Structure 1
Amino acid sequence: MGYDAIRSVGTADHLVFTFHGTGATADQLHGLARTLLPKAHVVSPQGDVHEGDAPRFFRRKAEGVYDMDDLAQRVEKMGLFVRGEITRTGVSHVTGIGYSNGANILAATAIRYPRLFDTLVLMHPLIPWVPAPEPGLAAKRILVTGGRQDPICPAELTQGLADWFTAQMADCTLAWHPGGHEIQQTEIDCVADFLC
């Protein structure tokens, strides 16, 4: 079982995955990836878990309280999907870009399968646990962004995740804007500078 996804063909030896936030669709970040990395292949899966009418990538029990069993199953499924797309395109370089719930499935998948991605962009992630050490993340390029007043992803947890990646010897950059959970233009500018 895979995912419904938007796919754009590129000419570079580079595959970009984008992962949308809760309630959004696969095209939320697809155009951004095409704009920032126009020669890359881009694949944007559609979350297949629904919270009411809002699509997501895994279940939660409450705000910030994840169904960890479901998350583990969804990470396995996403790992298979990502590997399949890498095989299909035959690329050597893989980037993941995720926002909110999309950043969470991306981070959890990269932590579980660190060889899948070279580069991660995690916008407003919330990983409410301390992962076990993962030496496979050493030297990976990671950008974590957040809002200082984000009510969904508290600043201290965003900082903690960035610190954890740094402790794994990843090349991790943390960028803030002064607002909340929304994506601001300064954040997009930071992502552009990081990827280009």
Structure 2
Amino acid sequence: MDHIFIPGDKLKKPLLLLHGTGGDENSLVDIGKLIANDAPILSLCGDVSENGANRFFKRFSDGRLDLLDLAIRTKKLLQTTYELAETYEIDFQDLVVVGYSNGANIAANAILQEEDGFQNAILLHAMPANNKPQDFSLEKRHVFLTAGVNDPLVPFSSTKALVDLFQDRAAEVQTVFTEAGHNLTREEIEDAKLWYENLGVEA
């Protein structure tokens, strides 16, 4: 996976950035810096191409998610992140994954489906994959989730279903809903910054 690493203050929890469809490893860097200025940043580029647009996993032509591919690439994402965390001397357990749209979807799937998945996540405009649920506890997972109630790509009912999936398994979830569509707003980024700061910046 193509990636960039931006060194930062080792006392701050590092960010893992996962872009939306059509983005790359540079797409969320400015957002990451707004959320956690001076934190170390690891940003990945999805290695699936959909008509030239980068994604983290495949979907079918009718828009349905390819759940088999999602499962395979979720494991690959975690393995890649473990390896890069070791390379750059950052603690995987301290990572705060920041995902937008497609990137948020695979991050959410990693938390819900993999017991060794991410511990902390900022999920911007995510939706559930509707795959077979797991039953391990998410008691020590921390999730900040945002959505636009007028999002044409992520129905608000899907957002609420994703929140329920986390809360039903005891994850700590904070939500911010705006009147926006699929675009990111200053409000949700500022709230994500506050959430990150309250999560505790001491690694």
Q: Return the TM-score normalized by structure 1.
A: 0.91
Q: SS of 1:40's equivalent?
A: coil
Letter in 2 for 1:139: K
- Establish whether residue 150 from structure 1 lines up as the match of residue 118 from structure 2: no
Once residues 141 and 135 of structure 1 are traced to their aligned partners in structure 2, the CA distance between those partners, rounded to angstroms, is: 15
Once residues 10 and 117 of structure 2 are traced to their aligned partners in structure 1, the CA distance between those partners, rounded to angstroms, is: 17
How far residue 142 of structure 1 moved from its aligned partner, in angstroms, is 0.3
Q: After TM superposition, list the pairs within 5 Å mapping 1:6-155 onto structure 2.
A: 6-13=4-11, 14-62=13-61, 64-88=63-87, 89-91=89-91, 92-129=93-130, 131-155=132-156
1:189 alignment counterpart: 190
Once residues 191 and 178 of structure 1 are traced to their aligned partners in structure 2, the CA distance between those partners, rounded to angstroms, is: 17
> Which is worse superposed, 106-115 or 72-81?
106-115
Higher RCO (Cα < 8 Å, 6 or more apart): 2
How far residue 137 of structure 1 moved from its aligned partner, in angstroms, is 1.7
How far residue 46 of structure 1 moved from its aligned partner, in angstroms, is 0.6
Once residues 10 and 59 of structure 1 are traced to their aligned partners in structure 2, the CA distance between those partners, rounded to angstroms, is: 33
- Could you list the runs of 5+ residues in structure 1 that have no partner in the other structure? none
Over 3 Å counting, the alpha-carbon distance change for 1:64 and 1:175 in structure 2 is farther
- Could you list the runs of 5+ residues in structure 2 that have no partner in the other structure? 198-203
Preserved contact between residue 18 and residue 96 of structure 1 (Cα < 8 Å): yes
Once residues 30 and 63 of structure 1 are traced to their aligned partners in structure 2, the CA distance between those partners, rounded to angstroms, is: 31
Once residues 110 and 45 of structure 1 are traced to their aligned partners in structure 2, the CA distance between those partners, rounded to angstroms, is: 17
Would you say how many aligned residue pairs link Structure 1 and Structure 2? 194
Same amino acid, percent of matched pairs: 27
Once residues 46 and 70 of structure 2 are traced to their aligned partners in structure 1, the CA distance between those partners, rounded to angstroms, is: 13
* Aligned-pair Cα RMSD in Å: 1.7
More strand per residue: 1 or 2?
1
Q: Return the TM-score normalized by structure 2.
A: 0.88
Once residues 90 and 6 of structure 1 are traced to their aligned partners in structure 2, the CA distance between those partners, rounded to angstroms, is: 14
Q: SS of 2:73's equivalent?
A: helix
Q: SS of 1:135's equivalent?
A: coil
